[in-house]
Amino acid sequence: MLAALKAKLETAVNLPSPPAIAMQIIALANEPDADLASIAIPISKDPGLTAKILRVANSSLYSRGRKSENLRQALLLLGLNAATTLALSFSLVGTYKTGKGTGIDYGRYWRRAILSASAARTFAKLREVPAVDELFLGALLQDIAMLAVDRVQSDFYATLPAQATHAEMIGYERQALGADHAQLTGWLLRHWKLPESLCTMAEFSHEPAQLDRESPLGVAARCVALGSDCVEALLAKGDAATDLTPLASHAQEWLGIDPATLAGAMSAIVAEIPDIEWLFDTTLLAQDRAAVILEQARELLTIRSLQALEHVATLKTSTEHLQARAVALEDMQRRDPLTGLFNLGYLDSVLAKEFQAAMAGGWPLSVVFVDLDRFKSVNDKHGHPAGDAVLIATAKLLLQVVRDTDFVARYGGEEFVIIFPGLDSALAAKVCERLLVRLREAQHAIGGTTIRSTASLGLATHSSSTPFASVAHLIEAADRSMHTAKQAGRDRLVCFEPAAPTRVA
């Protein structure tokens, strides 16, 4: 039966296939010398796709606080891998989401696919998977073979209930075909000539334990599988309690995610839904269902599942244990998953508080932008894992140079921000000078290769002599000074002056 179905798929004229623009992007992505300029050409030919790329670059999911005014700026912000996978995602969903079939509810199919991709991306961030956007695309396409089967044999799924669960569909496929759609999806994606990593994570999305749990693909497949499990709970009908214990069990078994962390992840997934709906021009989840699943996640996962999975006999009376969990979860939500530094969202709140305190107390507040020089060449020459290692090492170095009372955050990409409460420009500049020296001397031994990385620094200080009207103006001044340092030759500090930035070191 499976062989016969594959033969039908191979000869079918209405087999789902990527649109022309997607095929061009796939071809470019497989070229070793592909760059943003070449990817921009096919995207720019589709106004709708261009608008979506701009939309995602300026969304809260990717924005670094700078508005992208055109496609070039958006692609530079996103980077080559993210731009490629997001363009493919939008192109494929736009082509197929309005399809109709006798055995598949296409609306529910795409709601499930988009939510699964978003959930998988969240779990990938928790596990610090580098290529989260590629994983998003893999999760989005993990069930695409179901559409292919529906095209060539329209009555195949017709005998299933209209709201059949994913597990019921898999069981039905295995009984009828001796295999399920995950294997067919792997075959179809290879037919499309998509990267092998995408094909593999889709192929093993139903049985991720077959892949090495420590390998990048093994972790990616587990993120995809857990995202799929999570969405089954999200899309369950009605307001009755959903049994989340199997989901918590898989999270612990596959990715080492404890129930309390899983509850936080589910909250983050639900919080992102409005942004995802906006990006894909669709409705994914009713508000009342979102409220139900959040309440169940908080109550069931943080209390009952913790008891079942961790066997904490004293949990009912151990309020300190639960409070410690809550504090750890809150701290995790403030952190950048790669470097462990504070993230952009938390940076904004800290800056607002420190600026208000400086205004009220009459003391200085210094802000420094740190941007690694020629970082793209590190990724291009040594690969993104090496680039990630340099970012992690740089984060540790920043923490070693600053005071305990200072604040260090990852602003995005290869940019960092340091806040120096109470330090005037001269004292903050001395710390920056020490930091420049440490960066020059640092040798990052990665994969048998030594990588050196300098940085350009921009410093702005709010004080009685150089007052700023708002936090936004202070950040803008530090950012402009950093760009002046870049233009002046890199590997240096520029301090902002009201008239013009001047080089200090």
Residues 155, 447: Cα–Cα separation, whole Å: 53
Percent over 70 (pLDDT), the chain: 78
Residues 295, 307: Cα–Cα separation, whole Å: 18
Number of H helices, E strands in the chain: 23, 8
Contacts of 370 (CB under 8 A, 6+ apart): 398, 415, 416, 417, 418, 435, 455, 456, 457, 482
Confidence grade of residue 294 (pLDDT, cut at 50, 70, 90): low
324-370 pLDDT, tens digit per residue, is 555 555 667 788 888 889 998 889 999 999 999 888 878 899 999 99
Mean pLDDT of the chain: 80
Query: Taking 70 as the threshold, does the pLDDT of residue 95 lie above it?
Result: no
Give pTM, 2 decimals.
0.56
Q: Dump strand ranges (E) for 207-302.
A: none
361-387 pLDDT, tens digit per residue, is 788 999 999 999 999 888 888 888 888
Fill in the amino acid letter for 102.
Answer: T
Comparing 311 with 18, which gets the higher pLDDT? 18
Do the strands 493-495 and 455-462 form a parallel or antiparallel pair, or are they unpaired?
parallel
Confidence grade of residue 240 (pLDDT, cut at 50, 70, 90): low
Do the strands 444-446 and 455-462 form a parallel or antiparallel pair, or are they unpaired?
unpaired
pLDDT for position 315:
39
For the record, the structure tokens of 360 come out as 């009220």
Contacts of 215 (CB under 8 A, 6+ apart): none
Residues 209, 254: Cα–Cα separation, whole Å: 7
For 227-236, 419-428, 455-464, which range has the lowest pLDDT when averaged over its residues? 227-236
pLDDT average, residue stretch 447-456: 87
For the record, the structure tokens of 442 come out as 């640092």
pLDDT for position 7:
62
Residues 58, 278: Cα–Cα separation, whole Å: 12
For domain 344-503, the CATH superfamily is Reverse transcriptase/Diguanylate cyclase domain (3.30.70.270)
Query: Taking 50 as the threshold, does the pLDDT of residue 316 lie above it?
Result: no
Q: Would you call 112 helix, strand, or coil by DSSP? A: helix
Apex 438 CA angle, 435 and 442, nearest 5: 140
Per-domain residue ranges for the chain? 2-310, 344-503
Comparing 455 with 61, which gets the higher pLDDT? 455
pLDDT for position 295:
65
pLDDT for position 29:
67
pLDDT average, residue stretch 452-459: 95
Comparing 66 with 487, which gets the higher pLDDT? 487
Query: Taking 60 as the threshold, does the pLDDT of residue 309 lie above it?
Result: no
Query: Taking 90 as the threshold, does the pLDDT of residue 410 lie above it?
Result: yes
For 24-28, 254-258, 285-289, 375-379, which range has the lowest pLDDT when averaged over its residues? 285-289
pLDDT for position 283:
82
Options 2.90.10.10, 1.10.30.50, 1.20.140.10, 1.10.3210.10; CATH of 2-310: 1.10.3210.10
The strands making up 502-503's β-sheet, listed across from edge to edge, are 407-412, 415-421, 365-372, 455-462, 493-495, 502-503
Confidence grade of residue 105 (pLDDT, cut at 50, 70, 90): confident
Residues 246, 259: Cα–Cα separation, whole Å: 11
Which DSSP category does 464 fall into?
S
pLDDT for position 248:
85
Longest dimension (CA), the chain: 80
Contacts of 392 (CB under 8 A, 6+ apart): 338, 339, 340
Q: Would you call 250 helix, strand, or coil by DSSP? A: helix
The CA-based dihedral angle spanning residues 17, 119, 386, 219, taken in that order and rounded to the nearest 10 degrees: -90
pLDDT for position 289:
62
For the chain, the distance separating the N- and C-terminal CA atoms, rounded to the nearest angstrom, is: 72
Contacts of 441 (CB under 8 A, 6+ apart): none
pLDDT average, residue stretch 118-142: 85
pLDDT average, residue stretch 401-409: 89
Q: Which of 215, 313, 226 is nearest to 266 (CA)?
A: 226
pLDDT for position 66:
58
Contacts of 280 (CB under 8 A, 6+ apart): 90, 93, 114
Confidence grade of residue 1 (pLDDT, cut at 50, 70, 90): low
